[in-house]
Amino acid sequence: MNCSAPSNLNIKSLFLNYGNHNRISIEAERGRYPCRTKLGFARLSDCTRNPRYSRRLEARSCLANGNGGAGQEAHGITNRDGVIIVDHGSRRKESNLMLNEFVAMFVEKTGYPIVEAAHMELAEPSIKDAFRSCVQKGANRVIVSPFFLFPGRHWHQDIPSLTAEAAKDYPGVSYMVTAPLGLHPLLVDVLDDRIKHCVSHVAGDAEECAVCAGTGKCQLH
């Protein structure tokens, strides 16, 4: 791989997926990365002073593609990339609509130009629908990101198979399936926030959150 780690790279992006990116944190625990901080993140300024560690960071922070990362912006996504955020899908309409809300939040936060929602099964749009939409909007590479917590069968088999099938109609378009959310440290904060809010609601100190609103499920039994 021939790519260089930009000096302004946000090191947190290295831990978004439970895959090769997260290996830096794992290997740091074993003493292979002396630049690791207490939070489990590498300090880029320290790592890049050591060419050996710098090369490892470069290799694992690049979003691999056919050109080795050439021509990509700092965050690895260009205006010719399409991103598909795919969840399982539900027979419950409200659950499916929440994915649309999340995708809207994701677009607002990242500014990525081509982002589509998809459901693996039970609801539309499907992965095939989202793939087609990305290509129609100008994508020549499609990045499928499973909105799943851990790497189970759907990540190992179903989503790659459905993506490969969708890609057959577009031989000039490359694609990849990223790792699921995995053991990202920020998920600890998300879970803690959910727990505290629900406990506060039960105590009468907070309204129902957007997830529970109108369901009456957040209560003691």
Domains of the chain: 11-61 (no CATH), 81-177 (3.40.50.1400), 185-221 (no CATH)
Contact 28, 60 (CB under 8 A): no
**Alpha carbon distance 61, 15 (integer Å):** 9
Number of C-beta neighbours around residue 95 at 10 A = 16
Pick from 63-77, 109-123, 196-210: least confident: 63-77
Please tell me the pTM assigned to this model.
0.64
Q: At what angle do helices 159-167 and 127-136 cross, to 10 degrees?
A: 40
| pLDDT > 90? residue 3 | no
Phi-psi category of residue 76: left, alpha or beta, with phi > 0 → left and psi -120 to 50 → alpha: left
| pLDDT > 80? residue 5 | no
Burial pattern 54-88, b for ≥16 Cβ within 10 A else e, equals bebbbebbbbebeeebeebeeebbbeebbbbbbbb
pLDDT one-digit tens code per residue, 71-105: 345 458 899 999 999 999 898 888 899 999 999 99
Amino acid 75: pLDDT: 54
Instruction: Read off the pLDDT of each residue in 122-126 and give the average, rounded to a whole number.
Output: 94
Cis peptide before 125 (omega within 30 of 0): yes
- Percent of the chain whose predicted confidence (pLDDT) is above 90: 48
Provide the token pair at 166: 């969708």
**Alpha carbon distance 72, 67 (integer Å):** 9
pLDDT higher for 21 or 208? 208
| pLDDT > 90? residue 219 | no
